[in-house]
Amino acid sequence: MAGQPQEPSWQSIGQEQTRAAWPQQPPTYTPPGGSPQDTFAFAQPGPPGYGQQAGQQPGQQPGQGYPPPAWTGQEQQYGQGNSARAARPAGEKGFLGSLFDFSFNSFVTPKIIKVLYVLFTAWTVLWALIILRFGFHYGTAAGIFVLLVVEPIFILLTLGVYRVILEAFMVVFRIYEETKKISERGQS
């Protein structure tokens, strides 16, 4: 036919049917743990309705007529809560609750790891002072050698070993927490 573009020969009948059955509603996404108010449509070019919030009428401004999103409590975890108790996820116990949890569902180590590192640092400094005293006990030259050579090496190596051990504990606990999250996500 003159004046009209020709149909490409590679286009099949199945493609024509697919094009005719193009979805009129955009695909939606609800974040994990979110509510229907948190559901949004993907903004992609396509037929009418694409790029609108789920349930939004054509021509309606985004967010118009919707209540504010229902928060799941995670915003408190990131420093917006008013107290430490509010920032604690549901079901997590405090230090004393974890200490007397005989079922070992809540762990104490992640709660006291910083305090342990401070105690190890104080212990190392105390031993460094004792070693320095013995160095000066054997003479001024020995004391200066201990102060300038032995002490820095002793402190750095000792604190490094303590730090590596405590970090290894924390890695184990973080692996546990992430595995638990993945397991809970898989069950829901």
Domain count, the chain: 1
Q: Which stretches does DSSP call E strand in the chain?
A: 28-29, 40-41
Residue 83 has pLDDT above 90, yes or no: no
pLDDT one-digit tens code per residue, 85-136: 555 665 678 888 888 888 878 888 888 999 999 999 999 999 999 999 999 9
Asked if residue 170 belongs to a domain, the reply is yes
User: For the chain, how are helix, strand and coil distributed in percent, rounded to 5?
Assistant: 55, 0, 45
Dist. CA 93–CA 109, nearest whole Å: 13
CB-based contacts of 163: which residues, under 8 Å, 6+ apart?
Answer: 117
Average confidence (pLDDT) over 59-75: 52
Domain extent, residue 146, equals 107-187
Residue-averaged pLDDT of the chain: 73
Instruction: Give domain status of residue 75, yes or no.
Output: no
Identify whether 159 is part of a domain.
yes
Cβ-Cβ contacts under 8 Å for 41 (sequence gap 6 or more): 25, 26, 27, 28, 29, 49, 50, 51, 52, 53, 54, 56
For residue 161, the model assigns a pLDDT of: 97
In a domain, 121, yes or no: yes
What's the sign of the alpha-carbon dihedral 122, 128, 131, 136? negative
pLDDT of residue 96: 83
137 inside domain: yes
Domain-embedded: residue 165: yes
pLDDT mean over 77-90: 51
pLDDT at 138 over 70: yes
Identity (one letter) of the amino acid at 121?
T
6 occurs within a structural domain: no
Residue 36: per-residue pLDDT: 58
Q: Encoding tokens for residue 23?
A: 């979805």
Q: How confident is the model at residue 147 (pLDDT cuts 50, 70, 90)?
A: very high
Q: How many CA atoms lie within 13 A of 88 on its CB side?
A: 12
What secondary structure does DSSP assign to 31-64, as a single string?
-TT--GGG-EE---S-STTTTSPTTPPTTPPTTT
| pLDDT higher than 70, residue 34 | no
> Is 20 a member of any domain?
no
Q: Is the pLDDT of residue 49 over 90?
A: no
